[in-house]
Each structure stands twice: as C-alpha cells, then as structure tokens.
Amino acid sequence: MNSLNISFPLERNDVVSLLQHFNISPTRQRIEIAEFLFQRPQHLSAEKILDGVTEAGNRVSRATVYNTMGLFTNKGVVREVLIDRERVFYDSNTDAHQHLYNVDTGELTDIYDTEVDKIVIPNLPEGLKVVDTDVVFKVASE
C-alpha cells in the first residue's frame, strides 16, 4: 500500500491535486466527495458519505457516490475494507495497516503492524510474492 503522507484535513486545492495525482478528472462531485472523505482518517460506508456530502449542502446522487468510491478504490485513493457482503467501508488512511471490527458496535479501528504480534504468511507458490495484506480482526463482547 502506498503511503501518501496526507495531512488531514485536506483543503480543496489539495483534493484537486490528489485526484490529479491519481489521474482522476476532478469533477465537482468527485471533489466534494473527496473533501468529505479527507477531513480526517476515517472509515465510512457509501451511505455515510452520501449523507455527509448532502448535509454539507452538495447535490450528489447515490449512484455517483458508489461509482466514485469504486473509482477511488481502483485508483488507490482509498482502501476498501470488506467486512461482509452487507458492510463495506472506505478508509481514507492509505498507510499500511490492518483493522479491528467490533461486531457489537459496528466500529472499525486501525491497527498498525507494530500492534499485531504475528501474522504468518503461508508458503507461496514459486514466482509469487505478497504485495499487500488486508486483515480484519472481528471481535465481540464475551
């Protein structure tokens, strides 16, 4: 995962530069979505993004949010964190890290590699190497 060394929150001109860095055309709606995403390191569902962008007074459709998040994920602007088929979060923190998902509260928290005791990488077939990991520890109250 590429670290961009983002200083949150990103201002509008920084958002435009970020999108251009990833060869994404900075349309009004993409800028508004990215401005909301990059207020701070956070994990947001597409619905939360839609709510936040519209609450800020911007007009954007649900389809535009989903399409934009797909584009941002494919280009590496954000990380997509799949909890299950019903729960997908978009992570504005692109630093290398893993996640802790609290099943009881629905909260997703960053865990850095220094906090993980050991993740064992299996023996890989010849010619393959690990390029990234995406581990989600799911926890619940006892």
27-48 pLDDT tens trace: 999 999 999 999 999 999 999 9
Of residues 104, 113, 64, 71, the one with CA closest to residue 90: 71
Contacts of 111 (CB under 8 A, 6+ apart): 97, 98, 99, 100, 137
Residues in the chain: 142
81-95 pLDDT tens trace: 999 988 999 999 988
The rounded mean pLDDT for the chain is: 92
Pairing mode, strands 98-102 and 136-139: parallel
CATH architecture of 12-91: Orthogonal Bundle (1.10)
**Which pLDDT band, with edges at 50, 70 and 90, does 3 fall under?**
low
Q: Is the pLDDT of residue 17 over 90?
A: yes
What's the average model confidence in pLDDT over 6-24? Answer: 95
Residue of 122 and 66 predicted with greater confidence:
66
The ranges of the chain annotated as CATH 1.10.10.10 are 12-91
pLDDT score, position 69? 98
